Each structure stands twice: as structure tokens, then as C-alpha cells.
A and B are shown apart, each in its own frame.
Chain A
């Protein structure tokens, strides 16, 4: 019996020398580490992402082109002379001329503005409307949520392009760029609304809202000060990714001839005009297509990078 109290070999009493593991204060704050908010953290992740750097440079360039097309070309995109019918490139006109005798290079440069404004305006409207409706549905719940969610479901059931074609058919005479923007927004807001509703629902149940209520905060204050800011990340992600797809949709509609009027310089319209002579002069179609592809790619890449940085799963908070 006595030897039972004796520890087994290798299990004798052991105390580590103190200098090896010096005792630290209980739960001390690391004052040396830099302070980081969620956005600062996201920015740090983004900065290191090559996808973000490439797409960022591209987007900055595209925006610059859209804002100051005059820097890149002195030619008027709407000055067309049939004398130049399908002429090749020559000094001052690097991409040559199309079937109407217009300068392709200047049309590509000026088309940037159209595509970009449609994309950005649509995204702004979609985010504003979608977030508002989604947040209302998620925050109030009950019958408000039921009604709004059904409306969202109905819009979800309509394919965006098909819906846009039908609506645009009815307004053929309107020439404004806003026509396309509004129609795209009309069918685009639903996905944002869904995501906003989900995000609001999940952050509504977080404990800091209860804490805030107990501190005396009103529900509305909670919504705008706590819930919405905490729901922004997924909304930003979907906004950046879908910006590219709105640009594509605009091009598609213009290609079909029911988007922007032919008087507006746009890549979609130019691609449409070039398709009839595709076999003989493929380069006429090539330039606006490449411009469109690069622009869309840049925005989709950007959306991907933003998603990586804001992905809630990678964050512990």
C-alpha cells in the first residue's frame, strides 16, 4: 500500500524553473500592437492582394478615361465621314475606322463614360433601394417582412434581361441614359434587398443591440447606429461584383438595339454595328469588345478581392 503513494516513474513532482516561463500580469493589454478597426483590417488585407492591386489600377485608369476622354483623343466620336469607310489605322487614328467612317479609337474612349455611368448609377440606386427595403423587412419582421419578402420573390422570378427588354420596348422613344439605369435598377434591387435583409436579421440578434437598448437607446437608433453599419460588408461585396454585370447588361441591351439610342456612343451599340461586317473586318468589333471585357473583369476582380477582405467568416469579432 505504501508504494502506491510513490509516483510512477516519469511522474515525479516537477516544477519548471521560474526564469524559463516568467509570469506575466493577468490579462494585460498588448499596447504595442497597432489599433485596427474592421475597415483598417480589411484595407490591410486588400493592400496585399495582387488581385486588388491590378483591378484597382485598371479601375482608376477606366475612371480617368471616363472623366477626361479629351486627354486621350482629340477626335470627335460623332464625326463620321464615309470617305473613311473601314479604313485601317493611320497616325491619330490608331484603331482605324468603322463602316460609318467614324474613328474607332475615339468611340472606344468615349464609350467608357457611358458604360461606367450606367454601371455606377445603377449600383447606387440598387444599393440605396435594396438596403432600405431589405433593412426594413429584416428589422421589423412580422407582416412587413412577409409582404416585402413576397415582393422580392416576385421580382426574383423575372429574369433581369428579359424584364428589361419588355419594359424598354414600351419606352423606345425615351433617349435618356436614365432609362436604362432605372430599368436595370428596377430588376436589380432584389438581390441586394435579400442580402441586406439577411445581414440585418443576423446582426439584429447580436447581444450589443440588447446592451444598447438597456442603455436607453431607441430601436431606430439601434438600426442606424449598430445594425446597419454591421450589415454593410456583404452589401458592399455584392455591389462591387454586380457593378460589372450591369455594364454587361447595358451593353447587351444596346446591342439588341433597345438600350441606348444610336446617338449615344456606347460599346454595346458599336459591337452591334460591327457584327454585320465581322467576317471581313473583325477588328472593328474587337476593340469595343476588349474594352468592355477589361472593364467588367476589373470590377469583378475587385469584387472578389473585397469579398476576401470583408468575409465575415475570416473575422473573429
Chain B
């Protein structure tokens, strides 16, 4: 078996060398023109190439020009963007000067796109099937015959001999029942019995999907199941007669991994979850069997486990179709795991490129080094604060400081059998968002709640902050039930338990200057006079390492990471005991995320803060948390110290989550430290 795969790889390599790159971008320059008529260089002198059947990843932070480069290849630059220099060659043809009309001919059939946001890229008023059909009709696709890439043909040539064009006909749904029957009879005739018969039939039922299975594959399957060659081809020719548009649509959706595709095709986007929508978009992107698929952060809006499933499937699919994938991501781990070749972009330029493992294990450019160092992969340890690092290096190696405090610390927040129900709209049913959750946050430590979207973790955070009333159970702060706080007591509680929210763009009032935003908690609690408040704001800005000059600025002028630091400064204004971070670093780029995590950690060491850290990202948990609570469907699944949970996960769900961390098993940055 290994011999066989090796030869396929060898063959692929040979083919790639002989055919040359499918997409070749040389010294690409893309400019955007501002309102004032100034040219802003979004991409400068960037070169990269994609070979047939290869996964190439472009990695970089937001604004690095990675999406812009890809969109330039598709002729889909937004707004005033325009290619001002360099060349883009698709299959040896220069396309950078193409008009929109010429691009239209190439898009879809030669280059497909899987866009970033599954929520906004499907038209809500059309059925999913109609939207797949649109892609097929726009490119005049023959829906009854399979179009295979030259690469797939060349690779498969050795194994299967395709006699005539008719052999690439798709199976239609009308003939499917008759085909099944004939196959069953043929198996009986061939003398296949018992377990083998059942297994073969099961395989047929699964694989023979109308609109996706071709005549030669049906014949091939039958032959493999033990039917004689001539009989197999006779059956295939008799029953595989071509598919209708509806069959093909269902077939495509099925290939993209949507179960029960024929029914799904008749549904509307709002009936789909994020992951299903992404699958539909993949089906659309691959509908016309493009040679190259450009996937622009296709899974960044999805949960890690869903992401893993979708990418696994996409990889299988593109491998079998021989489609090359240009994969744009901000996630180094993902790039390392999926792509053979990696291109790192920074400020519109390619700073490093090469074979992905080599680049990430031995980064050369300082930016790549920085990126690799900041990547929260499984291998990383809990961040140790600056002071601790300085004081006693050996203690840190042992992870000693934290374990000591874990054992001796008293409880600051206790969540006791917390349950919260919501009424479902238009029904009488109640939905349990949080179901009997109990845990304790010890003083001076960090407890992380991990879970996928919809697991109820943010609801817990809101109840701890007393922004939401629990249906039953209680939250105690320093031994006192927080639901009993009134008036002055409540104000006091608010003073000591502070939040930092997920969305750095939403949690600051756009009408308030940074100074007023940070000053607000001091005003609410009537602390100090104007002068002392000003001094305190300066002190806080210094604490989050921002210059004093940002005081007069407004939130829209700052980056996401800077706003998040402002939000932290505001939370710190009243010297709280507990900070509840609800996905506080999830929206940030890796480097900025790393910076904010270090800041949080240093603040904890300096001020003895306790954190309740809500996140969907297990890799981040490793860096910041002492204790971990894993939640699924509102229930607490696993609870333990970070090391216990990471090294010896007890529940399957936790193991799945750990497995889904992209690049979790790869060791990156071997030359660092």
C-alpha cells in the first residue's frame, strides 16, 4: 500500500514539474486610490506560484495584502484597487490586464472562489440549489458528463481505462433504483455472499450518488466487488444514462459533504448552520471543476471542530479532483497542516516563502520568527509574567508559582449549580443554555471556560457579571450571593468585578474620546476630582502600554488590539479583583493577541487579579489559564487544571477539541529561543 501511494506522489511531482505552475504571480503590485487621489500600495513586488494539485497557503495578519493578492488573481479587487505592475499567469496565459469580460470567462470554470464569510455570501432569497445552479449555468457546464482536470486524468490513467467519452456520464436519480437492483442481482450471479455481499451493497448505497458518480466508477466499483468485467460494463452502460441539473446539484452538494443533499438543495440559507453554508459555498466554488480554487479564510468564522471536518473533506475532494488550492489564512498552524508551500506576507510584501514545514520550523525572516513565536500552538506553555521571569527562572520551568497559588488560594467567585433557560421564539419550549454548571475561581488565578459557539459559555459570563439572572443556582462573590446585592452593594460588586468583551469595535462608545471612556467608571463611582482622575487615566494608559497622546483620540482611530487594551485599562480603572474576559482576544491577529495575553498575564502577576476567561480557542487556554472548564451544549463536560486537561483529557469531546487545534501536533520554530 505504501508503495502505491509513493508512486502516486512521484507521479504527481513529475507531472507538476513537466506542466509548470498553474498560477504564477510575479512582482505583483496592487494600488488603492484614496479619496484625495493618493496611491496606497496594498501589495508590492509579490511573487508566488501554485502548481496543479497543490495546496499553497498565504499567511499574514489583517492588512498584509494576502486577500488583495488573491483577489487580484480573480480580477475581483474591491473599490479603487488596481493592478499596477507585475504579471499574473494562469496556465501560462497572462491575465493581469484582462477586462472584466475576459475574467468572467475564466472565473468559475478555471478559477473558483470559496469566500470568507459564509453568513453573507449566500443570497438569502434563493434556495441553495438555485445558487449552485447559477454557477453551473453561468459557465454553460455540461451537467450530465463529468469534467475532470487534466491532472486527475493523468494521475488516474494507470488504474482505470476510460474507453469513450460516454464513460464519464453521470448517474441519474431516475435510474438509481434500477441500478441498485441490477447490481444486487449481478452480485448474486457472481456468487458474492454473506458479509462481503452486505458490505458491497452498503458501499454502493453510499457511493452511488446521482449527479456525482460516473459510469466508469460504477463499473469499477462493480468489478472490485467481484462482478465480471463484461457484466459490470453492461450494467453501467445500461443504467448510467446521464443526470439532470437537479441530480448534478445534489451530487455537488453531496461531494461537499452535505448529507441528504437533494432535500438540502431545496432549503434556504437561513435554514443552514455556518458550517453547512460553508459546505454549500465549497460546492459552488467547485461546481465547474476549476483547476484552481481560491479559498479566502474559508473557515475562520467556524468552530475548530467544524473547521477540521470541512477542511479534511475539502482536502480529500480537491485531491481526488486534482484541484489546486490557494489557501488564505491568518492561522499558521492551519497553513502548516494543510499546505505544501507557504507564503508569508507582511505590509503588502512577501517576506518569506518555501516548503511549509521548513519555513515554520526554521523561520528566517524576523517577521516570520515573530509570527511563529506568537502562534498559540499546543506546544506552548502558560505565559510567565515579566517579573516572575526575572526573579527565578528555575521556578518557572517547574511551573511552580502557579501550582502553589492554586492549592492555597481562597475562592473569589463560586458558581453553584447554575442553570439558565431561554424561551424559544414562537413555541412554548424552553431551551437550557446553561445546565447545572458549578466551578470555583480561586484568587489570583485564571479559570478558562472553553466551548464551541452555543455551548453556553458567554451566558455563564453574563450571569457572573450579573447582567443576566440565572433560572436557578447562584453565583457568589467572596462568599456573598450576588443576586442579593442592591444599591450600594451592587455598585460595590460592579467595582470589583469588571468585564472585557469580545468585540473591540463595539465595547467602546464611538462618541467618547479615549480619555472619557477610561474615565467613565471613575465618574460613575464618583472617585476623585477632575485632576486626580486625569492622573489616573494617564497611569492606566501607561499600564496597558499606550502613549498618553491617545487620550484625545476616538475609538475609530485605533486598531482592534489597541481598543482591547483601552477596554482593559477601563476595566482596571477601579482596581477590580476579578476580570471576566469574554472572548477578549478572539478577534485579534496572532501577534496582537499574544501581546494582549502577555499584558493580561503581567497585570495578574502585579495586581493579584483573578480572571474568568471565556474562549473557544484551546490553544489560548494553554497560554493563560490555570484551571479549565470545558462546556458542551450548556453542560460542564470536563473540569481540571490546564495540564490535566491538556495532557490527560478524560472526555471524548475534550479530545476532539484538542485534536481540532490546527497544527497542534506540529513543532514550530525549532530555531527560536
A206 lies within 8 A of chain B by Cβ: yes
Q: Would B524 and A27 count as touching, CB distance under 8 A? A: no
A159 lies within 8 A of chain B by Cβ: no
A143 lies within 8 A of chain B by Cβ: no
Q: Would B353 and A216 count as touching, CB distance under 8 A? A: no
Chain A contact residues: helix, strand, loop or mixed: loop
Chain A residues near B549 (CB-CB < 8 A): 29, 31
Q: Would B13 and A4 count as touching, CB distance under 8 A? A: yes
Chain B residues near A18 (CB-CB < 8 A): 365-366
Chain B residues near A16 (CB-CB < 8 A): 349-352, 365
Interface stretch of the complex, out of A5-13, A149-157, A250-258:
A5-13
Q: How far is the CA of A226 from the CA of B510 in the complex (A)?
A: 9
A210 lies within 8 A of chain B by Cβ: yes
B495 lies within 8 A of chain A by Cβ: yes
Q: Would A215 and B351 count as touching, CB distance under 8 A? A: no
**B509-521 interface code vs A (CB 8 A; 1 in, 0 out):** 1110100000011
Q: Would A27 and B562 count as touching, CB distance under 8 A? A: yes
Q: Would A10 and B49 count as touching, CB distance under 8 A? A: yes
Instruction: Return the chain A residue nearest B517 by Cβ.
Output: A208
B370 lies within 8 A of chain A by Cβ: yes
Known pairs A213-B467, A317-B556; A1 contacts B10 (CB<8 A): yes
Known pairs A4-B13, A211-B567; A15 contacts B365 (CB<8 A): yes
Q: Would B355 and A7 count as touching, CB distance under 8 A? A: yes
**A27-43 interface code vs B (CB 8 A; 1 in, 0 out):** 10101010111100000
A173 lies within 8 A of chain B by Cβ: no
Chain A residues near B467 (CB-CB < 8 A): 210, 213-214
A94 lies within 8 A of chain B by Cβ: no
Q: Would B367 and A207 count as touching, CB distance under 8 A? A: no
Q: Would A10 and B507 count as touching, CB distance under 8 A? A: no
Q: Would B557 and A4 count as touching, CB distance under 8 A? A: no
Chain B contact residues: helix, strand, loop or mixed: mixed
Interchain nearest-CB distance for B53 vs A (Å):
11
- Chain B residues within 8 Å of chain A by Cβ, number: 72
Instruction: Return the chain B residue nearest A316 by Cβ.
Output: B556
Q: B346, B354, B491, B592: which contacts A27 (Cβ < 8 A)?
A: B592
Chain A residues near B556 (CB-CB < 8 A): 36, 38, 315-317
A221 lies within 8 A of chain B by Cβ: yes
Interchain nearest-CB distance for B327 vs A (Å):
15
Known pairs A16-B365, A26-B592, A29-B550; A215 contacts B506 (CB<8 A): no
Known pairs A29-B550, A214-B467; A21 contacts B346 (CB<8 A): yes
Chain A residues near B51 (CB-CB < 8 A): 8, 11
A282 lies within 8 A of chain B by Cβ: no
Q: How far is the CA of A97 from the CA of B315 in the complex (A)?
A: 88
B402 lies within 8 A of chain A by Cβ: no
A83 lies within 8 A of chain B by Cβ: no
Q: How far is the CA of A47 from the CA of B19 in the complex (A)?
A: 58
Interface stretch of the complex, out of B97-105, B155-163, B496-504:
B496-504
Known pairs A31-B549, A35-B552; A11 contacts B509 (CB<8 A): no
Instruction: Return the chain B residue nearest A221 by Cβ.
Output: B524
Q: How far is the CA of A21 from the CA of B494 in the complex (A)?
A: 46
Q: Would B507 and A14 count as touching, CB distance under 8 A? A: no
A229 lies within 8 A of chain B by Cβ: yes
Known pairs A8-B16, A35-B552; A210 contacts B365 (CB<8 A): no
Chain A residues near B353 (CB-CB < 8 A): 11, 13-14
**A86-118 interface code vs B (CB 8 A; 1 in, 0 out):** 000000000000000000000000000000000
Q: Would B501 and A210 count as touching, CB distance under 8 A? A: yes
Instruction: Return the chain B residue nearest A12 by Cβ.
Output: B354
The contact sample of 20 A-B pairs, CB cut-off 8 A, is A1-B10, A5-B355, A11-B51, A13-B358, A16-B352, A18-B366, A26-B592, A29-B546, A29-B547, A35-B552, A37-B513, A37-B554, A208-B506, A210-B501, A214-B498, A216-B490, A216-B521, A230-B510, A315-B510, A317-B554
Closest 6 CB pairs of A and B: A317-B556, A207-B506, A13-B354, A216-B494, A317-B510, A15-B364
